[in-house]
A and B are shown apart, each in its own frame.
Chain A
Amino acid sequence: MRAESTRIIKEVRALMVPCFIVTAACALPLLRRKYGIGSMDDFPTLLAIVLGIPFLACSSFGNEFRNKTMELLMSQPVARTKVWSEKAIVTAAATGISVVVAFLSSGTPVHSSRDIGNFLIVFFVVMNCSATFWTLFARSTLGGLALSFGIVLLLFIGVSVNPFHVVPVYVFNAVLLTYSAVMLWLGWRKLSRFQMPGGFAGTDLMTVAPNIMPAGVTSLLRCRSNQVVLNLVRKELQLLRPLWVMAAFFVLGFPVVTAAATILPVSKGSKEILETLFVVVSTMYALVAMLLAGGASLSEEQESGLLAWHRTLPFSLRLHWAIKLIIGFISGLACAVALPGLMSLLMHAVLGPSFTALIRDRVDTNPLGLLLTVFFLSFWCVNAIGGMTRAVILLAAVGGMLAIAHNSGQWLASQYAGLAPNLVTYVISAFQLNPIPFEEIPSKLARLHSTDWWVVPAVSFAVIQSYAMFRRLPQYGILRLTRRLMPVLALAFVFGTIVEVGYENRWFDASYELFKDVAEAVVKFQPDITKLDALHPVSLTEGDLAGKAPLQASTERWLHNATLTIAATDRNEIDAYVKRRGVSRVYLVTMRLANGRNCRMSFAKFEAYGFSPPNHPSVWIVSKDCD
């Protein structure tokens, strides 16, 4: 095999998995057309295009930094131009596949497909040309991604907010293609002059950047020799530096984008773009903030080897894990929820109704569930696979797999939901259980249908599992990862099944079925109700009752060896609702089951009510309870 082929295969192998995930997400609209799920506006597809493609573009050099192989690569007897061109070819192929699939799956009418095609081509060119420079500058995949995407976003805003109000597409194209050409040259120049000063713990820009914090804050964050817990907290806050930097950019950028989208006198087309940018910036910021809050600190310690060393220090690993999780959680909430909330209040105060309208029309105002899921899964992924970049890829895959597991559970349940009532009734009757607690379970589960609560058990388990992973030096591998992932997916599957079964049987009440069967049998037994009262009850066994009025098999099982006492109440004691139906007396039945459990019910008999057949009396169960 030729040397070039070996190197290119290595590049392909590194990009294969992320490329597959991004392309699969880009292909979701195809599923919509065939199965009615997924659309171009779908979050995964949008995410795959605006973040997945830049991620692929930055991964080639980013992987070298992550694996600490940049020095090795640069020391090989191969011209840097050749290294650059080989990486560029593979990156272009990977991003190209995703772009083509995204375009083909968009399925939009001809006139708008031209717009989408134009956007995708320009985005493809810009990202491929600028990624090298920004990745080399930031010395990490995620840093490169943030800078590549951020600068393109600023260019969009810059071109949209212009004095001419109308911005033709060719102006956008010209600006972005010029930027691409400049970045292509700068990227090549950066690589040809690239220096590796060495270093050990995360050479990326965010970690080793000079400290620009005020002296007061630096002093507050400085470790003391007698404060273990506080030192761990300080360390966590320092490790979350990428989050703080991003939050600072958000604080500066949010008012600009918001003001541009609300009060600038621009054309309708430009306003649309600005409003979309506002949504993209706000959503992406919150998601990436939660992602970093969940994984940045742990991944930095993993990649630098500091985590292993920490494990040899005399303090509880549970404490370390808990501090990491809590500080990440609080920081994530502060940056991704509280900060946008505060900024929104501020902008509302300044801009008034136009800002309120923008929020109302374009922003999902209840993203907390999604953000929390991203946080906890990000933490789990970093524990499971090590390193932020790999965790981001895994997170995308795990998110998709959780959804598939949940939907599969729902599908399976919808096919076999009819079996559940029989099963529940069988269990109650076989063990002579109190059926009352079962009556509200289906309706309670049905309430969870069409909500995102299904993710809670899986994510909760993932958090607990993350501690088990945190305790040990990680060993990564597809088998280990699969073993860890299976219970999480199984929970999503099982919860999807249970909720769907509850939803499908939301009108089913096991206790009602049993009590109704007993009541109907009592009516068929024909006790003279006029002679019955509390002092003159009729006592009989399950055998007596079944002998005169056949019971359902499950009811017979439930009443096996039971004794029944039948009495009646006066009209004065029954409630107004039943009185209105012309009922003068109500049966009182007490059942003493073989296991000693006492169950009671009162019911009324409606003669020839509704469509009941003559020998099948209608009963109205007024009350029922069990010990």
Chain B
Amino acid sequence: MSTSVPAIEIEHLQYAYGRAEAVHDMNLRVQSGRCYGLFGRNGAGKTTTMKCLLNLLRPRSGSVRVFGMDPNKQEVEVKRRLAYVPDQVAFYPWMSVRETLDYLASFRANWNRKTEADLIERFRLDPSARADSLSKGQRTQVALIAAVCPETELLILDEPTSGLDPIVRREFIETVIGAYQEGDPGNRTILVSTHLISEFEGLIDEFTIMDAGRNVLTRDADQARDRYQKIRARFAGTPPNLDLSAAMSVRRDGRELELIANGGSADLMKRLEQHHPESLTVEALTLEEIFVAALQP
């Protein structure tokens, strides 16, 4: 693990909207150069956490650091090093796409015009179109361009692909995000909150699953895949009654037995093999399956 200052460091973060607690004792550490996923159900506290990072909300307690700086005290310096795509994108209705991008570029020291032109073409946007004539997906596209072109060290994306059509979504995730990180390998960090976990599967290096404002699970993606495994056993007759309490979940379907293991899958496999199943397979869970498994009661 890198010993340099982490891109994001959150310790014991708490935030409440009135009496409704949105984030409770949240801890998070994102090293530079990583693509970090923040997963959770609706209302889990993902957007609130991001807004605390951006100094849009002041935490009730705990500390938030971005590149080692306090966003509350060094607000401009922090924001100079990051770009953000909100879940609901809005622009000034009288501005054209071209003018919107110029307006946003004026706040940045660096703006990659080549990337901008490339993305406008990829997304088939009309630069002269007025912002109020854009669809929801097109607005998100403009926001993504505005976030990528400044080539900041940190990209904070809150549901970035909602409203995008499948082609643009794939294009964005596979090409744009990839190209962004490859532009300065090891230094460009992404914090992404999304429900479309499967689409970000290949990109995510590490993730945190939140539920009801709490950190339920934090794992390196590869380690999680090694640890969370699905074991399927098919028997000639009714599956035997075994002690499978080590498994996270057990599902019986006729002659089949399906287990979700959170570590200890080798031991479970050994036990199943003793009963001579017709077939016995093991496969790593996808991040989406891990998410579902982690949040299932």
Where the two chains meet, the residues of A that have a C-beta atom closer than 8 Å to any C-beta of B are 199-202, 207-208, 211, 222-228, 231, 235, 238-239, 241, 304-306, 308-309, 311-317, 472-473, 475, 477
Contact = CB atoms under 8 A, between A and B. Distances in A.
A89 to B, nearest CB: 34
A297 to B, nearest CB: 11
A317 B107 CA distance: 12
A305 B88 contact: yes
B29 interface: no
Given A472-B56, A472-B57, A473-B56, A314 B93 contact: no
A224 B18 contact: no
Contacts of A313: 79, 104, 107
A317 B131 CA distance: 24
B19 to A, nearest CB: 10
Interface stretch (B3-11, B37-45, B95-103): B95-103
A316 B84 contact: no
B interface, how many residues as a size bin? 35 or more
A314 B81 CA distance: 8
A317 B106 CA distance: 16
A225 B90 contact: no
Contact of B92 (A201, A308, A316, A475): A201
Interface of B: 17-18, 51, 54-58, 75-76, 79-84, 86, 88-95, 99, 101-108, 111, 131-132, 136, 139
A223 B90 contact: no
A306 B91 contact: yes
B132 A199 contact: yes
Contacts of A224: 102, 106
Given A309-B86, A312-B79, A313-B79, A207 B93 contact: yes
A-B complex: 5 closest residue pairs judged by Cβ atoms:
A314-B80, A223-B103, A314-B79, A225-B105, A312-B84
B106 A226 contact: yes
Contacts, number: 97
A228 B90 CA distance: 19
B18 A235 contact: no
A312 B51 CA distance: 9
A308 B86 contact: yes
Contacts of B82: 312
Nearest to A306: B90
19 contacts: A199-B132, A200-B88, A201-B91, A222-B99, A223-B99, A223-B103, A227-B106, A228-B106, A228-B107, A238-B92, A305-B88, A308-B56, A309-B89, A312-B83, A312-B86, A314-B81, A315-B79, A473-B56, A477-B18
Nearest to B78: A314
Contact of A223 (B54, B95, B136): B95
Given A313-B104, A475-B18, A238 B56 contact: no
B103 to A, nearest CB: 4
A225 B102 contact: yes
Contact of A238 (B58, B94, B107): B94
Contacts of A202: 93
B197 to A, nearest CB: 24
Contact of A304 (B51, B75, B90, B102): B90
A235 B105 CA distance: 14
A314 B147 CA distance: 12
A206 B80 CA distance: 34
B54 A315 contact: no
Contacts of A306: 90-92
A220 to B, nearest CB: 13
A238 B94 CA distance: 8
Nearest to B58: A472
Contacts of A208: 93, 132
Contacts of B57: 472-473
A234 to B, nearest CB: 9
B106 A201 contact: no
A313 B89 CA distance: 14
